[in-house]
Amino acid sequence: MASFFVYIMASRSRCLYVGVSNQLVRRVREHKEGRGAAFTSKYRVDRLVFSEGFADVRAAIQREKQIKDWRRSRKVELIESLNPEWDDLSRGL
């Protein structure tokens, strides 16, 4: 069972934020309420468009770093491979 999550949040204009959390529901709520990272508050990044679960925190952090190092186009490909409409996946949490 996944205990750690790498996630990507997006704004309506598709500004992206990549993060990692052990409590995805709480963390997404914080972003939506403007209590997440300063970046997400400033750019209104409040839609969960991707998440991936891990049992091991080290694997989750490694994956987060990997995705953060990617060019924007590759992040968009990852999102669209699983969520082509960029739906807010937090509704299903």
CATH number at residue 30: 3.40.1440.10
Residue 41 or residue 88, greater confidence: 88
Residue 41 lies in domain: 4-92
pLDDT bucket at 2, cuts 50 / 70 / 90 = confident
Q: Is the pLDDT of residue 93 over 90?
A: no
Are 83 and 89 within 8 A, CB to CB?
yes
Tell me the C-alpha distance between 4 and 64, whole Å.
Answer: 11
57: its two tokens: 């925190």
Residue by residue, DSSP assigns 34-51 as T-S-HHHHHTT--EEEEE
Give 24-78 pLDDT, tens digit per residue.
999 999 999 988 788 888 999 999 999 999 999 999 999 999 999 999 999 999 9
Q: Is the pLDDT of residue 84 over 80?
A: yes
Domain count, the chain: 1
Question: What is the pLDDT, as a whole number, of residue 35?
Answer: 86
Question: Which of 33-42's residues contact partners 24+ apart within 8 Å by CB, and which partners?
Answer: 36/9, 40/9
